[in-house]
Amino acid sequence: MNPTTTQPGPVPPSVSARRWRPPLLWRGVQGLARVVIPLVCRLRITGDVPDELRNGPLILAGNHIGTFDPICFTAASRMRRIAPRMMATGGLFRAPIVGPLMTAAGHIPVDRGRDTVAQAVPDAVAALRAGSVVFIYPEGRIGLDPGMWPERAKTGLARLALATQAAVVPVAMWGSHEVIAYHGRSAMIRTLVSSIWRRPTVRVHFGAPVDLSDLKEGGFGHAQKASERVMDALTADLAKLRVDEPRLPRFRDPTKPMSTARIRRGALHLTTARSLDQRDLG
């Protein structure tokens, strides 16, 4: 963000009368996802969004493990009675058919590699000011960590959270990587078709809000602390979903590259994954 521009202040306790309402199109897509999902996987959802946060302003932060994640999250959000505006790669908004639909649904483009990428956070701030629920993948990409644990977050999440003081709820997902391959048309079609009879289990958990009340925008090191707290909470919730896969996933996708370049050194899962119990999900 350009330091010479005026920084957005906190989202006020009472949101403007011009509260954003989810378009019927987006509600319809959510309903369709809920109908289609059972054909290719078993969706299991735990946790919930606190009632006082359900209608926003609220930030949802999810881990990104596979191509099928957004579809699973779309169905899960419908089942939890929320209609979040998703921050998604700008390429989707430039695609025929999909792009106009994404725009009409109220989602927010993130044009990485373009000058317009700087507009993503202000757009998300405006969405929160209108009382929206905003969903973001803090990692900014499908993670390439060999263990499929959350990688280091980009700066967008922390900047958005501290600029608006909106609550942040982690949303952990596991199993979606088994539904469809990471890359390659034939591989993606083959795995999707096989999922119809395999029907892998996909788990989604809405965690407790992350306490960032002691951090503020512009505070020395506060953005880094905010990122780490959210990613630690997300990792801890993910560990509960994959308690029987504490180190490496059983399912390996040969089309997906691996990289340790953005691994979170000393991440919470390295010391807590084995001690977490499935019953903790409640």
Q: What is the pLDDT of residue 282?
A: 47
* Average pLDDT estimate for 3-18: 48
Residue percentage of the chain with pLDDT more than 70: 87
Q: What is the pLDDT of residue 267?
A: 57
Distance CA 151, CA 265 (A): 9
Confidence of residue 39 (pLDDT cuts 50, 70, 90): very high
Pairing of strands 167-174, 42-47: unpaired
Confidence of residue 90 (pLDDT cuts 50, 70, 90): confident
Q: What is the pLDDT of residue 4?
A: 40
What tokens were used for 126?
A: 């405006």
Bond from prior residue into 257 cis (ω within 30 degrees of 0): no
| CB contact at 8 A, 173 and 69 | yes
Return the biggest CA–CA distance within the chain: 56
What tokens were used for 208?
A: 């407790």
Those residues with Cβ within 8 angstroms of residue 191's Cβ, 6 or more apart along the chain or in another chain? 178, 179, 180, 181
The percent of the chain in helix, strand and coil, each rounded to the nearest 5, is 40, 15, 45
Distance CA 158, CA 227 (A): 5
Residue percentage of the chain with pLDDT more than 90: 76
Residue in this structure with the two tokens 């512009």, named with its chain if needed: 218
**pLDDT over threshold 80, residue 227:** yes
**pLDDT over threshold 60, residue 13:** no
Q: What's the first-to-final CA gap in the chain, in angstroms? A: 40
Kindly report, residue by residue over 162-221, the tens digit of the pLDDT. Answer: 999 999 999 999 999 999 999 999 999 999 999 999 999 999 999 999 999 999 999 999
Kindly report, residue by residue over 260-271, the tens digit of the pLDDT. Answer: 999 987 654 444
Helix and strand numbers, DSSP H then E, in the chain: 9, 7
CB < 8 Å & 24+ apart, contacts of 106-114: 106/20, 106/22, 106/23, 106/26, 106/132, 108/134, 110/140, 110/156, 112/140, 114/90
Per mean pLDDT, which of 52-56, 105-109, 168-172 is the most reliable?
A: 168-172
**pLDDT over threshold 50, residue 63:** yes
**pLDDT over threshold 90, residue 250:** yes
What tokens were used for 118?
A: 């700087």
More confident residue, 10 or 158: 158
Q: HEC states along 236-265?
A: HHHHHHCCCCCCCCCCCCCCCCCCCCCCCC
